Amino acid sequence: MKIVVMGSGAIGCLYGGLLSIANPGSVTLVGRKPIIDAIQTHGLTIRGAMGDHDIPINATEDPSTIEEADLVLITTKTYDTLRAAQSIKHLVEKGAYVMPVQNGIGTETMVADVLNTTRVLRATTCMGALMQPPGVVTATGRGITEIGTKYSENMEMVSKVADLLQEAGFIVRASDNIDGVIWTKTIVNCGINPVGALTDLTNGEIHSNMALRQLVIHLIEETAAVAEALGVELTTDDPVRYALGTAKATSENINSMLQDVRNRKRTEIDSITGAVIQIGKELRIETPASEAVYSLVKAIESKYLTDEDLSDEEVQIAVDELVKSINQH
């Protein structure tokens, strides 16, 4: 299977690199200049929880030079999703499937709309990964990758991709309840990520910090209440236990939002906590703790972001469509 990975951050390189070891020559990474230059010169290096590997891999800044693909993984930050999707339109027109591997709500719907296709899968990942320096990735935790689709005709592709990822060394589960998977993961992200970003603590430190526990539980419960009002069937009966358990299981991780703050980059707070607040408002579910951490993360970002950093399009959540699509499943 020919695979393109849009986004050469730590997660994109981890998935692209390990898929490329399992099927040499099958993967092309697409990303920004400093990382692509480093990979073209020295190859990609992976260290840590997924083993130590030095991987020669195709890498380019320009997706228009890629002629064909069976599958495109989108591993960019959520606010870059639209741009990434538009730049691989030619591959989708020739039949490629697209699979966002991202945090947050709604990117799979956005990709399907902008590319006018139903050949869309979606994955969530609990893998922890850091990139430092460019081209060198450390896997800090081996968490589950869950895959599904909103379109039942794609289920065969879902199991093929799940097999490929398993062969590449990932822990994978194919699910026929992708909304449940996305919302269960979003509960984890809403509970852990802003708290890490605000306190500079790792997932394990958040888990064991009694002063933070009640805040984390409020965030989890508010997100679970919004999911319930939307009619989503979560993949756990006990969201608090599940989210705290994930924090413990990924205790070495510096969560992605904290990494963004440390690197003075725009965070994904809008498509994680912001999306939950927005949907909660439509459904008349109060989310005061989420609103408080949302404002605080935005305040931290505002200290270093420029207008140019904020120019990317935000994931637009059409709440009515989201509710309709969830109720159809």
Task: Give the distance from CA 301 to its chain's centroid.
Answer: 20
265 is an active site residue: no
Neighbours of 22 (CB within 10 A): 14
Taking CB under 6 A as the rule, does residue 246 contact ligand PAF? yes
Find out whether 102 and 42 touch, Cβ atoms under 8 Å: no
For the record, the structure tokens of 112 come out as: 């399907």
* Selected range binding ligand PAF among 19-27, 208-216, 245-253, 304-312, rule: CB under 6 A: 245-253
Per-residue CA distances from 208 to 44, 49, 187 (Å): 35, 22, 18
Q: Helix axis angle, 210-230 relative to 319-327, nearest 10°?
A: 70
Site string for ligand PAF, 196-215 (x = CB under 6 A): -------x------------
Neighbours of 300 (CB within 10 A): 18
Q: Which of residues 76-105 bind ligand PAF (CB under 6 A)?
A: 103
Sheet holding 97-100, edge to edge: 58-60, 27-30, 3-6, 71-74, 97-100
Q: Which is nearer to ligand PAF, 66 or 130 (CB)?
A: 130
Coil, strand, or helix at residue 302?
A: helix
Minimum distance from CB of 90 to ligand PAF (Å)?
31
Taking CB under 6 A as the rule, does residue 126 contact ligand PAF? yes
For the record, the structure tokens of 250 come out as: 């990924």
Q: Pick from 85, 101, 168, 192 the residue near ligand PAF by CB under 6 A.
A: 192
Q: Pick from 256, 267, 271, 273 the residue near ligand PAF by CB under 6 A.
A: 256
d(CA 52, CA 234): 35
Minimum distance from CB of 219 to ligand PAF (Å)?
12
Q: Which is nearer to ligand PAF, 119 or 122 (CB)?
A: 122
Q: Which is nearer to ligand PAF, 154 or 271 (CB)?
A: 271
- Provide the annotated active-site residues: 185
Binding positions for ligand PAF, rule: CB under 6 A: 103, 126, 128, 188-189, 192-193, 203, 246, 250, 253, 255-256
